[in-house]
Structure 1
Amino acid sequence: MAKRALIRSLTNVDIRLVRIFITVTEFGGFAASELELNIGRSTISKHISDLELRVGLKLCNRGPSGFSLTPEGEQVLVAARRLLASIEGFQSEIDNIQTNLTGTLRIGLFDQSTTNPNAHIHKAIQKFDDIAPDVALEIALDPPSSLEARVTDGTMDVAIVPVHRQSTLLTYTPLYTEHMTLYCGEGHALFDTPNHVTVSDLALADHKYAGYAFNSPNMKAGMNLGIKRAARVQEEEALSLLIQSGRYLGFLADHVAETFLRKGTVRPIAPADTGYSSTFAAITRKKPEPDRKTMEFVACLKAFHAQEGADEQEF
């Protein structure tokens, strides 16, 4: 027997649960939708259980036999798609009615872009403020996986992340590049290693390595060198600290390491072999389509990063 529904009025949380439910059904289960939603299987299961509690119905079967919708789940899926279509239509109509852009633009960033000579985000913000002075800005710093998840579920409008494992639910607009190199700190056993030495001459796996705790180009580069993490971090600031301790190897953006290089507290390790470049892109949702203020900001980003060859190209 169906449980009594708890929903009396829809909230943002309910709509987020509905979006997750639709994604799970489109990808055929929790495991298949894990990468798209950028959240773990257990968390997805909890969200679906929460939605079932809210609507008072069992929506799907999950277990050894696989994932399938219940008859009630099939009906809820149809209603859920109608709901999101209505919301998207309302948002588009309001956006088109308004002459002046208003509301809040929620922006996500990952790295220390203010010191990257290739990043001109501050100029894009300046131009956007000229175009939309009535729009308030909210800027958050988070790991790439968190930023992608927030853009996907609609709690963030646009984010700038290093391109690594792309989601089919997002549009990636390339902006600028960032060059990374493996570094060690003063006092490390490799600190006096000449720059011309190659990776094959070094036993990097014998040394502690600090890296990001999430999937990223940084993680891939470490794996390619055969080094395993002895310390995990979420932010570049923590990574810099560990490298400067002289006990850990780690990748830093060259523009971040520049200050430490001048002080003589870090040095690159086999830069010709360990260096690599990452492309940073602005990400937005594919569905529903971003509103006008979001697209105006993306246009400002593209305009000020045209020298990177990103103004006409999309992944």
Structure 2
Amino acid sequence: MVLENKTFPGSDHHRPLTERDLKSLRVFCAAVQASGFTAAGDTLHISKASVSRHIREVEDRLGVKLCERGPGGFKLTSAGAVALDVTTRALRALDRIQPDIDAVRGVLSGPLTIGLVEHILIDPACTLPAALNELSQRAPKVHPEIIVMTHSQLNQALRERRVQIAIRGQYQKDRTFNYQPLFEEYHRLYVARHVTPEAARKLPLVYRSHPFVDKIMATGKFRRGPDAGGLEAIATFIATGNFVGLLTEHYADLINVRHPLRQLDGSPEFRNRICAITEASRPLPASAELFLEILRSQ
């Protein structure tokens, strides 16, 4: 939805930005990320009134309305979307000053943001904790940040440079990314153990927006069942005994401890390569290069 931008008469938006303006722009970015003033205040440990004042000041400074807030919720104006994009890139550049200077002196420092898909850690082949431990020993001034996202969210975060490294499956190769293989996982169809083979063949398939699920549905062998937002939801439906669902082998083994499952007779097997993925169009910070090197050696 595009909202009308309002110009503020008398605003002095031709003078250089001040440190106060920069702080207000940081507050604006936090409000957008939190989708509201109250949540932004909680994140920044300031009052809702302070958030509102900062945004009002930067709107006066720039001479435009950046966002609408009220009963209809929090919405960016078209000028606000531009301000968010430019400000985010500028703040990232500022945040890179100290790490880049440190790198000249041979010291690695600063944040390293890593995005993960769900349930990576429970795969026996995942060496992420050991890799992070080695990173802390070799570069103690680097501060890793870990964010769990969906496959599509990770792609967007890479393109927007909100994460430096994404660890997820490589379902299709995208030339805008570089892929470093880490390990492989296997996906199969599962059903509750008490369900007979004859009954299992008639059960609908729990649907998740996923390349492998779509391939199975395309065979025409299954009716579409309820939608699920992740492995936890799929496993819950399977455990009822009323549905078939696609799970990774290591996750099914974990669920099987509490809720007995078995592979569906004649289940297809899908192999998925888990990779450390980076954006191809930009050089990586030295800390990210080091972490990729550590992952290769694991």
> How many residue pairs end up in the alignment?
235
Q: Secondary structure at the match of 1:174?
A: strand
Quote the residue 1:192 is aligned against: 196
| Cα distance change of structure 1 residues 288 and 95 upon mapping to structure 2, 3 Å threshold | farther
Aligned to 2:129: 122
Aligned counterpart, 1:210: 206
- Residue 21 of structure 1 corresponds to none
> Following superposition of structure 1 onto structure 2, how do residues 1-315 of structure 1 map, counting pairs within 5 Å?
49-50=78-79, 54=83, 93-94=100-101, 96-186=103-193, 191-193=195-197, 206-213=202-209, 216-226=210-220, 227=222, 229-261=224-256, 265-271=260-266, 273-304=267-298
Distance, in Å, in 1 between the alignment partners of 2:260 and 2:163 is: 38
Conserved 8 A contact 1:222-1:228: no
Shift of 1:260: 3.9
Report the alpha carbon displacement of residue 114 of structure 1 after superposing the two structures with TM: 2.4
Q: Is the 8 A contact 1:102 1:134 kept in 2?
A: yes
What is the identity, as a one-letter code, of the residue corresponding to 1:114? L
What RMSD, in angstroms, separates the aligned Cα atoms of the two structures? 3.8
Deviations 1:96-142 (A, max 9, x none): 32422111111111132222122211221121111112222221211
TM-score (normalizing by structure 1):
0.61
Higher RCO (C-alpha under 8 Å, 6+ residues apart): 1
Question: Could you give the per-residue CA deviations for residues 178-225 of structure 1, whole angstroms, max 9, x where no partner exists?
Answer: 0111001245xxx2228xxxxxxx995x53222333xx3433443344
Equivalent-residue separation in structure 2 for 1:162 and 1:98 (angstroms): 36
SS at structure 1 position matched to 2:197? coil
SS for the counterpart of 2:107 is coil
Judged with a 3 Å threshold, the aligned counterparts in structure 2 of structure 1 residues 155 and 259 are, in CA distance, closer, same or farther, namely closer
Q: Is the 8 A contact 1:105 1:293 kept in 2?
A: yes
Distance across 2 between alignment mates of 1:222 and 1:94: 52
Percent of residue pairs bearing the same amino acid type: 22
- Give the superposition deviation at 1:157: 1.5
Which amino acid in structure 2 is aligned with residue 49 of structure 1? S
Aligned mates of 1:50, 1:247 — CA distance in 2 = 50
Instruction: Give the letter for the 1:241 counterpart.
Output: T
- SS of 2:292's equivalent? helix
Secondary structure of 1:168's match?
coil
Structure 1 letter corresponding to 2:234: L
> Per the alignment, in what secondary structure is the counterpart of residue 227 of structure 2?
strand
Amino acid in the other structure paired with 1:301: L
Q: In structure 2, how many angstroms separate the alpha carbons of the residues matched to 1:47 and 1:285?
A: 27
Correspondence for 1:20: none
Task: Please give the alpha-carbon distance, in whole angstroms, between the structure 2 residues aligned to 1:136 and 1:54.
Answer: 28
SS at the partner of 1:165?
coil
Partner in structure 2 of residue 58 of structure 1:
none
Q: Give, in whole Å, the separation in 2 of the partners of 1:182 and 1:258.
A: 13
Give the TM-score normalised by the residue count of structure 2. Answer: 0.65
Q: Secondary structure at the match of 1:113?
A: coil
Cα offset, 1:263, TM superposition: 5.4
Larger radius of gyration: 2
Q: SS of 1:184's equivalent?
A: strand
Distance 1:51 1:108 in 2: 26
Counterpart AA for 1:117: P
Cα distance, 1:186–1:285 mapped onto 2, change above 3 Å: same
Q: CA deviation at 1:246?
A: 1.3
What is the identity, as a one-letter code, of the residue corresponding to 1:165?
Q
Q: Give, as a single letter, the amino acid of the residue that structure 2 aligns with 1:105.
A: L
Quickly say closer, same or farther: Cα 1:137–1:170, change in 2 above 3 A.
Answer: same
Q: Which amino acid aligns with 1:122?
A: P
